[in-house]
Amino acid sequence: GIALTRTTMLLFFMLFTIVVAQFFSLIPYIQHRVVGDGLTPSLYTMYTVYLYSSAMLFAVIFSHNSVERVTLAIRAYAYSTIFAGAWGILSFMNVGGLGDNEPISGRIAGPFKDPNVLGSYCIMGVLFLVQSLLLDKRYSFLKLAAAAIAFVGGVFFSMSRGSIGAMMVELVFLLSVTWATYGRDIRKRIVTGVSVFVMLAAVGVGAIATSSDMLENVTQRAKVEQEYDGGVTGRFGNQKRSINMLIERPFGFGPFRFPITFSLQPHNSYIGAFSDAGWVGGLAFLFLVITTSFVGLRLALTRSPFQRAAQVVTPATLGFFLQALQIDIDHWRFVFLMIGAIWGMESARRGLNAGRYLVSSESAASADAYRGVIATGVRSR
């Protein structure tokens, strides 16, 4: 079943505040013309309501039988990233003319409209598959191949600087918390896995070096500042100018109206929150990010039946929050799945501490062991 708890109610109030603030910012522009991508401020706000509502729905669903439900969701998500990665590889090789449909030359978007979305989408799938390689004993070769497909076809071929950088940071986080959580056998696997990754990376670098076109593309994308980033009217220039303007506008520019003033999207979800929903909505978004990060880190670092799932979902979510500094993630649907998963598991953890039923009978042994740890005040490993 599903039900609201004190924890999920806190999430609800944060999401509700953002949505209501955006509605107030929308009022002067309800009849506004199409801004871009076929969206008006009103339609954009409706999408916002849908996405934030989905986060709440996921939270209440995952607050019961959390281990099974979250694990099932992550596993299904990972399988979809294998599909997306395979699509990316086929597009890169232009099999069946798939490469001709890519929106940006030299970058792969696969089933998405934007290469940045493909790269970021596949990250949690890679994390789950890497974790499975470390902790499970079966089908290691298949999981290695699947992780390689999702990483190469999804993350790398997207040529998204943010996605590739976030992937590396999140892998380090996953390996670090896994090293700290598990025993000697798992640590040996981590050392072996890192060694294999370094060797495969060296092979990949060698392969890139043999193709002048690929080398030029990678070198160009590796630059910290692209052509569209610099200058007064570039991405960073627009962001800098917008901050002073937003300080003077309690209701922001209005939903999806940033491009009217600056000709481009903000490419920064924090600035975008203040632009779309004003001071109240922007501050509520910051509070959502901070509290979700804190809750996720506690779940990932604290012994509980939900720790393994949290060690995949948390780094993926934190990676999105970091990417939000240089791209607009506020309408990526999978981000809200992860936010809902974190708050759902936190609701389950708090309920378990209080002795309420929040895990299924299949997790009873794990839950009983966790209660024993809480009762004795001993943190077991």
Q: How far is CA 332 from CA 97, 98, 336, in A?
A: 27, 24, 7
Q: What is the C-alpha separation between 256 and 242, in angstroms, rounded?
A: 14
Q: Is the full-model pTM beyond 0.75?
A: yes
Burial class from Cβ neighbours inside 10 Å (0-12, 13-18, 19+) for residue 110 reads buried
Alpha helix segments (H runs only) across 265-332: 269-301, 307-323
Mapping DSSP onto H, E and C, the string for 33-79 reads: CCCECCECHHHHHHHHHHHHHHHHHHHHHHCCCHHHHHHHHHHHHHH
Cβ-contact 87, 94 below 8 angstroms: no
Task: Return the structure tokens found at 97.
Answer: 């003319």
Q: What is the C-alpha separation between 377 and 269, in angstroms, rounded?
A: 40
Q: What is the C-alpha separation between 181 and 375, in angstroms, rounded?
A: 20
Written as tens digits, the pLDDT of the chain (381 aa) is 567 899 999 999 999 999 999 999 999 998 888 887 788 999 999 999 999 999 999 999 999 999 999 999 999 999 999 999 999 999 988 898 888 888 888 889 999 999 999 999 999 999 999 999 999 877 578 888 999 999 999 999 999 989 999 999 999 999 999 999 998 889 998 998 899 888 888 888 888 777 777 777 777 776 656 666 666 667 788 898 999 999 999 999 999 999 998 888 899 999 999 999 999 999 999 999 999 999 999 999 999 999 999 999 999 999 999 999 989 999 999 999 999 999 999 999 998 887 764 455 445 545 554 455 444 443 333
Q: What is the C-alpha separation between 45 and 47, in angstroms, rounded?
A: 5
- Eight-class DSSP state of 304: S
